[in-house]
Amino acid sequence: MLRKRTPFNKNSQGFTLIELMIAMAVLVLVLVGYLCANTTIQQSNEAAFERTLALQDANQVLERMRMESASGIFPGNVTAEFPDGEPVSGFTSLSSQSVTVDYVDSTADPLDVTVTVNWLERGVRSTSVSIRSRLTQGGGS
């Protein structure tokens, strides 16, 4: 006896087209979420790297000021080499970077110094970090 074949047998195994489409839609959503998270993490890492470079540059300026304070008449020698509010040259590791030095009182001992680094984060957003320190004759802080 011949058995009649039906295309949709209730006992057949496998997926229907609707089940397959739903599974593909869920997979696409998971992949898009993963890619977005990966992009966000990468941007955060880049911003943290730029911030680290800016802090290193600010520390470098403070070290140069400490070395300068060891020679000459303090604090005049430091304030002459690093004028209040003026940019410090030689820093180009970040996009549109500028490094400035500010004093609370440029004649005081200890000298209260704030070094500020401004740059464009990822070349787009204006960002800055500051380090504040006190310098004395001979480079102590």
- pTM of this prediction? 0.77
- Percentage of residues of the chain with pLDDT beyond 90: 74
23-73 confidence digits (pLDDT tens) = 999 999 999 999 999 999 999 999 999 999 999 999 999 999 999 988 888
Task: Tell me the C-alpha distance between 34 and 106, whole Å.
Answer: 53
Residue 27, classed as helix, strand or coil, is: helix
> Distance of CA 132 to CAs 12, 22, 40, 62, 100, Å?
75, 58, 31, 9, 12
